[in-house]
């Protein structure tokens, strides 16, 4: 299990580093959009390349950041019943989801997108828009993004198995976030401190 946890930490580190860099793609996309707008208004000229590079960058930032989003538990979760279940039941639901749904989905996407990306690269297909860009760089975002997402899914799977075997902490609590038990302990501690502070005042 310790070897798997080392693998999990390596995957977490990889996606964390990707997350630190991918934010710059958003800045670049925003800057290009602003420059394109200024050039179009001032010089009455533009290019489809400016427009296409914006959605290229957005596609890369959206897809490649999927892994770090999963790491930080920032994906949308609509917990109607799950949050009411015991902790072990929640962890088992996550295990089933990562193993039987996320992993097959990512493998299916990779099965279709890797050959298509290679085909786009070999053919050198260009955008159909005048002045458009070559297509394969944006297609490459799909296999890269889903590979990182699948790896992070495996990392989360390892963490949950480690939790069930007693080899790791609760993986369902976000970093810096207190568990329900810790919040209860904090409330009780604050209450005790308040009662202790009020006792001398009442004695007077």
Residue with the larger pLDDT of the pair 192 and 121: 121
Q: Are residues 32 and 128 in the same domain?
A: yes
Tell me the pTM: 0.77
Verify that 96 and 191 share a domain, yes or no: no
Residues 133, 203: one domain? no
Tell me, yes or no, whether 106 and 55 share the same domain. yes
Are 105 and 164 in a shared domain?
yes
Instruction: For 129-179, write each residue's pLDDT tens digit.
Output: 777 788 888 899 999 999 999 999 999 999 998 888 887 787 777 655 555
Structural tokens at position 117: 């990306």
For residue 47, give the 3-state DSSP assignment: coil
Residue 185, pLDDT > 80, answer: no
Q: How many domains does the chain have?
A: 2
Q: Are residues 14 and 83 in the same domain?
A: yes
pLDDT tens, 84-135? 778 888 888 888 989 999 999 999 999 999 999 998 888 888 877 777 788 8
27 shares its domain with 80:
yes
Maximum pairwise Cα distance, the chain: 88
DSSP state for residue 74 in the 8-state scheme:
-
Average pLDDT over residues 40-67: 83
By residue range, what is the domain housing residue 107?
2-172
Query: Both 152 and 133 in a single domain?
Result: yes
Is 29 in contact with 51 (CB distance < 8 Å)? Answer: no
How does the average pLDDT of the chain come out, rounded? 82
Q: Distance between CA 122 and CA 136 in Å, rounded? A: 9
Q: Residue 110: which of 145, 162, 67 has the closest Cα?
A: 145
Mean pLDDT of 74-78: 74
In whole angstroms, give the CA distance from residue 75 to residue 148. 15
Nearest Cα to Cα of residue 147 among 18, 2, 5, 9 = 18
Q: Both 148 and 195 in a single domain?
A: no
Same domain, 204 and 148: no
Interior CA angle at 153 toward 150 and 158, to 5°?
130
């Amino acid at each position: 299990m310790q070897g798997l946890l080392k693998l999990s930490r390596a995957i977490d580190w990889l996606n964390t580093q990707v997350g630190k860099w991918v934010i710059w793609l958003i800045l670049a996309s925003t800057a290009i959009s602003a420059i394109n707008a200024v050039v179009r208004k001032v010089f009455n000229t533009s290019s489809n390349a400016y427009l296409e590079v914006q959605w290229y960058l957005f596609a890369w930032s959206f897809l490649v950041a999927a892994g770090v989003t999963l790491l930080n538990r920032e994906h949308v979760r609509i917990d109607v019943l799950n949050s009411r279940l015991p902790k072990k039941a929640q962890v088992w639901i996550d295990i089933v989801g990562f193993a039987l749904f996320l992993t097959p989905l990512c493998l299916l996407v990779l099965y279709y997108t890797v050959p298509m990306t290679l085909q786009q690269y070999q053919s050198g297909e260009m955008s159909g828009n005048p002045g458009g860009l070559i297509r394969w760089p944006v297609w490459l975002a799909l296999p890269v993004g889903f590979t990182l997402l699948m790896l992070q899914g495996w990392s989360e799977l390892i963490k949950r198995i480690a939790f069930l075997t007693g080899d790791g902490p609760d993986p369902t609590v976000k970093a810096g976030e207190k568990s329900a038990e810790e919040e209860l302990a904090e409330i009780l501690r604050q209450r005790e401190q308040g009662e202790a502070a009020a006792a001398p005042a009442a004695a007077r």
